[in-house]
Amino acid sequence: MSLYLLIGRFLRRHWAAYASSGLMLAGIALLIVWIPRQIGHVVDGLAAGTLRGRPLLAELGWLLAAGLVVYFLRVGWRLKLYAAAYRLGVELRERLYATLSQQGASFYQHRRTGNLMALATNDIDAVEMAAGEAMLAGFDGTLTLVLVVATMSLGVDWRLAAFAILPFPLMALAFWWISHHLHEASRQSLERFAALNDHVQETLAGVRTVRALGLLAHSEQQFQLLASGAAESSFQAQRWEAAYEPAVGFTFATATMMVLAVGGWLVWQQQLTVGQLTSFSMYLGQLIWPMFAAGWVLSLLERGKAAWGRLQPVLDAPLAVDDHGTVAPVVPGPIALQDLRFHYPGQVARPALDGVTLQLRPGRTLGLVGPTGAGKSTLLRLLLRHHAPDSGSLHWNGVALPGYTLSALRAAIAWVPQEPFLFSASVAENIALARPEATREEIEHAAHLAAVHDDIRRLPQGYDTPVGERGVTLSGGQRQRVAIARALLADAPLLLLDDALSAVDADTEARILAHLRDARVGRTVIIVGHRLSAVADADHVVVLREGHVAEQGDHAALLAGDGWYARQWRYQQLEASIDAS
């Protein structure tokens, strides 16, 4: 969809606001055309000595009244226009946010956060200006041009009008050439601003790493290069935009010179009065606005087209996982995975999961273990429908996962990822994220179960302590336990713990697991862990290796099998005994 089609659809939906603004602009144009004619009439009357006293005051009063009406109409159309145009900005930002919030991980592998933030600010602003300022400026300029030229031709002298518009084709040619370069300059300006945004966002997100590695000087140098590039590209766009003014000035100067020369000769030949030449000169002055409006409109449209060319692919990007399900809510039941096969984009030769078949009864606990890269986290992401499997099926209570609505499915799952994300809010607000209506007692109970209550009480403001961006004020273990408390408070029928105890010590892990044994009664739990102690009490344990199910059974059966699980258990027990000594 082109920018013009987008604006056209928006105009049809908000036609009343644009129509009322257009009517007010038409009134302004008519009055502006009338005012020079009236002034010419007054000048001729004064020159002839026929206009004085009350008639003169009356004529001047009409001019003053016309000026006041023009003032209020200008205020009115701006209020109407910008109220409508801002709605387009709001709609585009809401649409962009909805798109970004529904996209899967594969979408973000090819797009950077800073660039997406730039789309939501600069690019949408440019589209908004094209839909608002450009549309009405174009309408106003065109209407003024038509009325002024018509009045000049029919009401004053058609010969002068012909000479006045003679330089206009040259201006149109100059505008076309400038617009072509402005479009490219605007695109580069937006892209370089997005690159600058990317750098700042990544540097601030990883500021601890930057400092630890002594990369501050290098980061500052990179920032200076990007900032200089963004400034230079913005300057180039402004330079091409400013080129419209000399084109207008040259055209107007040429037209004025020709009009004065021809008009003076016509007055000398007594074919034109001084008042008519005065009116015509004022009309000619009014042509400056349509000229500038043309340049301004082209500038806004080129900027808008460049921005829409960056924004549209993101808005129209297909969802990584479709949301065509109709079943809601999820009724807890057995989970069945049948012959699952999945590979990440660009890794066709080595599937992340290959032929995985599992059965998990409701209320039971499944442990997933295996070497790094075995596919454990991938399996959880398929359950969450962050990705869709290449083949095979996933059923929950007899319903294929795509049959559920995404909102219903994810509301039925509490997930603690390997790297939990905390928002810039208080500890209590982060725990109560899934249940904002939860009482303080319920929040503290969940924190007790996650073995983080005592840590929170030691914070400066307790549960009301702000955690900073991404939970920067908390340790890795505290962030994990706050995330576990959040998942437990959600009370979802399926709990997924993706190596969620990796940042806590063995004693804290034992306490959390003991609390989980009580809290997970009646709830299906899948625990992914590298420490086998985390899954030792699970009802069923599956060992994944290179995407395949290598071993499965309970803890005792796997120890007796003397496979990878048994060897890893003995190694970890030996390691724990050495650490204890």
Model pLDDT, residue 72: 83
| CA 363/CA 188 separation, integer angstroms | 56
Cβ-contact 114, 198 below 8 angstroms:
yes
Q: What is the pLDDT of residue 20?
A: 79
- Full-model pTM: 0.70
Is residue 104's pLDDT more than 70?
yes
Give the count of beta carbons closer than 10 Å to the beta carbon of residue 398. 10
CA distance 528 to 418: 9
How sure is the predictor about 541, in pLDDT bands with cuts at 50, 70 and 90? very high
Please list, in sequence order, all residues whose beta carbon lies within 8 angstroms of the beta carbon of residue 11, skipping any fewer than 6 positions away: 18, 131, 135
* Helix, strand, coil % over all residues of the chain, rounded to 5: 65, 10, 25
Give residue 188's pLDDT band: very low, low, confident or very high (50, 70, 90).
confident
Least Cα distance to 185 among 134, 147, 236 occurs for: 236
Whether residue 139 is predicted with pLDDT greater than 80 in this model: the reply is: no
CA distance between the termini of the chain: 69
- Topology of domain 3-315, per CATH? ABC transporter transmembrane region fold (1.20.1560)
Does residue 58 carry a pLDDT above 90?
A: no
| pLDDT recorded at residue 579 | 66
- Whole-number pLDDT of residue 363: 87
- The first and second tokens of residue 490, run together, are 């959600």
Pair of tokens at residue 574: 């030996």
Q: To the nearest whole number, what is the mean pLDDT of the chain?
A: 81
Check whether 23 has a pLDDT greater than 90: no
As to burial, measured by CB atoms within 10 angstroms (0-12 exposed, 13-18 middle, 19+ buried), residue 552 is middle
Task: Give span(s): CATH 1.20.1560.10, the chain.
Answer: 3-315
**Residues of the chain with pLDDT > 70: what percent?**
90
| Ramachandran sector of residue 119 (left: φ over 0; alpha: ψ -120 to 50; beta: rest) | alpha
Maximum C-alpha span of the chain: 122
Q: Which fold has domain 331-412+530-581?
A: Rossmann fold (3.40.50)
Q: What mean pLDDT do residues 491-510 have?
A: 84
pLDDT digits (tens, 9 = 90+) for 290-307: 777 777 787 788 888 888
Q: Which helix (H) or strand (E) holds 341?
A: strand 335-342
pLDDT band with cut points at 50, 70 and 90 for residue 272:
low
Which element (helix H / strand E) includes 380?
helix 376-383
Query: Is residue 196 within a helix (H) or strand (E), and if so which, with residue range?
Result: helix 168-205
Residue 259 has pLDDT above 90, yes or no: no
Q: Side chain identity at 449, as an amino acid letter? A: L
Instruction: Please give the pLDDT value at position 274.
Output: 66
Q: Which of the two residues, 265 and 404, has the higher pLDDT score?
A: 404
What pLDDT score was predicted for residue 396?
Answer: 92
Residue 154 pLDDT: 67
What local confidence, expressed as pLDDT, does residue 388 receive? 85
* Of the candidates 285, 293, 288, the residue with the CA atom closest to the CA atom of residue 39: 285
Residues above pLDDT 90, as percent of the chain: 8
**Residue 334 pLDDT:** 92
pLDDT tens column, 388-400 = 888 999 999 989 9
What residues form DSSP beta bridges with 542? 368, 552
Q: What is the model's pLDDT at position 249? A: 73
Give pLDDT, residue 379.
92
What are 545-580's pLDDT values in tens digits? 988 999 999 888 888 888 899 999 888 888 777 766
Q: Letter for the amino acid at 352?
A: A
Give the helix/strand (H/E) hosting 552: strand 548-553
User: Do residues 367 and 542 touch, judged by C-beta distance below 8 A?
Assistant: yes
* One-character DSSP codes across 493-543: SEEEEESTTTTS-HHHHHHHHHHHHHHTTTSEEEEE-SSGGGTTT-SEEEE
What is the pLDDT, as a whole number, of residue 507?
Answer: 81
pLDDT tens digits, one per residue of 429-475: 999 987 888 899 999 988 898 888 888 898 888 899 888 777 778 88
Does residue 547 sit in helix, strand or coil?
A: coil
| DSSP letter assigned to residue 474 | S
How does DSSP classify residue 437? T
The pLDDT value recorded for residue 277 is 67
pLDDT of residue 339: 92
Q: Which residue has the higher pLDDT, 219 or 45?
A: 219
Report the distance separating Cα 534 and Cα 546, nearest Å.
21
pLDDT at 279: 66
CATH 3.40.50.300 residue ranges of the chain are 331-412+530-581
More confident residue, 31 or 539: 539
Amino acid at 326: T
Over residues 81-106, the mean pLDDT reads 80
**pLDDT attached to residue 580:** 61
DSSP letter string, 247-283: HHHHHHHHHHHHHHHHHHHHHHTTSS-HHHHHHHHHH
pLDDT for residue 267: 65
User: Two tokens at 480?
Assistant: 């994990």
Rounded to an integer, the average pLDDT of 333-354 is 85
Answer whether residue 84 shows pLDDT above 80: no
Mean pLDDT across 368-374: 89
Confidence of residue 193 (pLDDT cuts 50, 70, 90): confident
